[in-house]
Each structure stands twice: as C-alpha cells, then as structure tokens.
C-alpha cells in the first residue's frame, strides 16, 4: 500500500497462494489454544445489546471470547476462552491506587478492558505503566481505541497486552461522521502489524469496528489482526441480549418461543445501540449528558449464533486452505 493512499476492507481482496499443499480443510486449525480450551479469533464488543451475564455461556460454548459491557462481572473463567471486565478510566485508576486485584480467570490473572473512546491520552498510557509496575503479569490489559499506528507502538511499550484498533467506523458509532476522526481500517491494521514485527513486546491487535461481512473478518486477520471484535454482527443473532420484539410483543431472545418463531420464518426485530448514546449515559448514571457519538437502531434478526459461528469457521478454513495456511499464525 502506498504511504499516502490508505485502504479500507472494501478496497482489498485476498489473493490465494500460487499453490496449496492442503488436501482437506480438516487439516486446518482455526483456533487459538488457551489453557485447556480452544477459541476462535473473535471477541464480543462490550455492548449491552450484544452480551450480558445471561447469554454469555452461549458465546463461550461457540468458542467466542467475551468483553463484557461495563457493570457486568465476568463469571469464573475455566480457561476455555478470554473474558474481559470493562471498567472506566477512573475505575482503572482506583484499582491501581487500592492495589485490590482479584483474578477472574483460572490462570490466576485479571482480564480488564479500559473502556474509553480515546486511547491516545497520555494519562491512560501512564496508568497502564503504573498498573504493570504494580501488578506485573497478573493483569492482562486491553486498551484503546486508537486510530494512529504510532499510538499502537506507544501502548505496546507501556505494557498493554491487547489494543483495540479503529475509531469511528463501527455500525453503532458516529465519531468519524461527526468529528472527522478516523483511519481506514485495512491500512491501520496492516501498519500496526508491521510495527508489531519489530517491537520487543507487541500488544495483540484487535480489529474493532466496520466489520460487516465474513470476508471483512478474514481480511482483518490476513492483514495482521490477532482478533476481530464485533458488535453489529453478533447483535443480529437471535440470542444477543438486545431487546427483541415480535410485532409489539417483547420476547426473551434465549427462550423457546422466540426460537420457535424464528425457526418457522417469523420476522423478529432487535434493538442495537452504540455505547456513547445518551440512553447508555443515563444507564451509567451520568449527571451531565454529552453529545452522542452513537446511534440506536431496530434491526431484523438474521440468524442463530451457533449457525453463524459454524458458517464463519467453515469460511475461515476455506480461506486458509486457499492461502496454504494450516494455522492462524
């Protein structure tokens, strides 16, 4: 890619290897190993119309990592996938001051997402350094969001373990549209990946935002993302925790009746909202509401989570077979 011409997912296509030694997709491993378990290179966005403490077991069953919305404590993690607790910048600071770190995983570590929009702040970087000095490897930090490759380097050097890459291009976000801030996703991931190859302690790259299709996920991985974070695509699954409606009637999306209606071709609708909307600000108890950089939509339910995941895994294996790749690395 030219230094001056930046690309997004729609600008690119993946060219297959000139030859492939793979004879069957069964030879391909589309999972990362974690402890005794295996998980896909996917993680939920910390959105309250995607995942909560009721449907989280379904994501875990489908080998999808979880980043919980603020206010929800992860269940005890048996090591089958990653489960991040989302907290504010102020809560992260208090955690360091109070030195009260409680593991939320069987590996003895505390997995935390510092859930803020602007990962470019020096104050955040200083807090991450302090956390790593105080807690060492006992804390696993997800930071972001960023829209500048140099900030990925800064966060890696500070000790962040995962960096959310992307600002303003999510389906629930208006940041780029309203502020002009952003960076084309494909170029951003590629340039962060190139930096990761020369850094001493590179953070894992999480492609976050602008994922609309299976192929977008595969392009993000091919460009160098370790994981892809999604809200919109997971929200469109029947079992997501967004308010679910059959006409004027509100349903339990994990219930048998909702499942029966969907299986028999009835149209179900679901609420989806960005986490900077005024609705969410009120939910978090903010006294002063700021201008929203998010949207709220009602959308059609398109699939069940297990079927979407099955399709994704097959498409990932197929892609890897074309590219002569037997594992994600």
Q: What is the pLDDT of residues 186-205, one digit of tens each?
A: 999 999 999 999 999 999 99
pLDDT band at 49 (very low <50, low <70, confident <90, very high): very high
Give the residue among 80, 88, 87, 135 at the shortest CA–CA distance from 105. Answer: 80
Q: What is the pLDDT of residue 3?
A: 63
Average the pLDDT over 209-234 and give the result: 96
Q: What percent of the chain has pLDDT over 70?
A: 91
Which helix (H) or strand (E) segment holds residue 281: the answer is helix 278-283
Q: What percent of the chain has pLDDT over 90?
A: 79
Q: Is the dihedral of CA 247, 249, 250, 256 positive or negative?
A: negative
CA 190/CA 147 separation, integer angstroms: 12
Catalytic residue among 81, 158, 173, 241: 173
pLDDT at 1 over 50: no
Average the pLDDT over 70-74 and give the result: 92
Average pLDDT over all residues of the chain: 91
Q: Is the dihedral of CA 175, 180, 184, 189 positive or negative?
A: negative
Say which DSSP state 71 is in: T
pLDDT band at 36 (very low <50, low <70, confident <90, very high): confident
Q: What is the pLDDT of residues 104-162, one digit of tens each?
A: 888 899 999 999 989 999 999 999 999 999 999 999 999 989 999 999 999 999 999 99
In the chain, how many H helices and how many E strands? 11, 14
* Lowest-confidence pick of 47-61, 243-257, 293-307: 293-307
* Alpha helices, H only, 29-158: 56-61, 89-98, 122-135, 149-158
Q: What is the pLDDT of residue 182?
A: 83
Which helix (H) or strand (E) segment holds residue 211: the answer is none
Neighbours of 126 (CB within 10 A): 12
Q: Is 323 a catalytic residue?
A: no
pLDDT band at 53 (very low <50, low <70, confident <90, very high): very high
Burial (CB count within 10 angstroms: exposed 0-12, middle 13-18, buried 19+), residue 289: exposed
My answer on whether omega of the bond before 216 falls inside 30° of 0, hence cis, is no
């Amino acid at each position: 890619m030219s230094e001056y011409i930046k690309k997004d997912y729609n600008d690119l296509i993946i060219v297959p290897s000139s030859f492939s030694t793979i004879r069957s997709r069964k030879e391909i491993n589309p999972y990362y190993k974690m402890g005794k378990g295996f998980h896909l290179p996917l993680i939920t966005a910390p959105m309250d119309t995607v995942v909560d403490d009721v449907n989280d077991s379904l994501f875990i069953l489908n080998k999808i990592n979880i980043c919980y919305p603020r206010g929800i404590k992860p269940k005890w993690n048996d090591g089958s996938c990653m489960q991040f607790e989302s907290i504010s910048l102020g809560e992260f600071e208090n955690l360091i001051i109070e030195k009260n770190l409680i593991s939320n995983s069987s590996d003895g570590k505390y997995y935390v997402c510092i859930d803020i929009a602007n990962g470019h702040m020096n104050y955040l970087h200083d807090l991450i350094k302090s956390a790593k000095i105080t807690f060492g490897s006992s804390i696993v930090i997800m930071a972001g969001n960023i829209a500048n490759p140099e900030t990925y380097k800064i966060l890696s050097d500070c000790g962040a373990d995962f960096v959310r890459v992307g600002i303003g291009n999510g389906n629930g976000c208006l940041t780029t549209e309203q502020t002009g801030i952003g960076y084309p996703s494909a170029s951003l991931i590629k340039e962060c990946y190139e930096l990761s190859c020369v850094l001493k302690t590179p953070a894992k790259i999480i492609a976050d935002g602008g994922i609309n299709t299976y192929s977008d996920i595969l392009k993000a991985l091919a460009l160098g993302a370790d994981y892809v974070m999604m809200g919109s695509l997971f929200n469109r699954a029947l079992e997501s925790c967004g308010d679910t409606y059959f006409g004027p009637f509100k349903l339990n999306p994990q219930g048998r009746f909702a499942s029966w209606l969907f299986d028999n071709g009835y149209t179900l609708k679901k609420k989806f909202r960005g986490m900077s909307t005024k609705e969410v600000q009120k939910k978090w108890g903010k006294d002063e509401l700021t201008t929203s950089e998010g949207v709220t939509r009602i959308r059609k339910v398109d699939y069940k989570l297990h079927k979407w995941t099955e399709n994704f895994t097959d498409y990932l294996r197929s892609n890897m077979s074309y590219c002569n790749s037997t594992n994600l690395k």
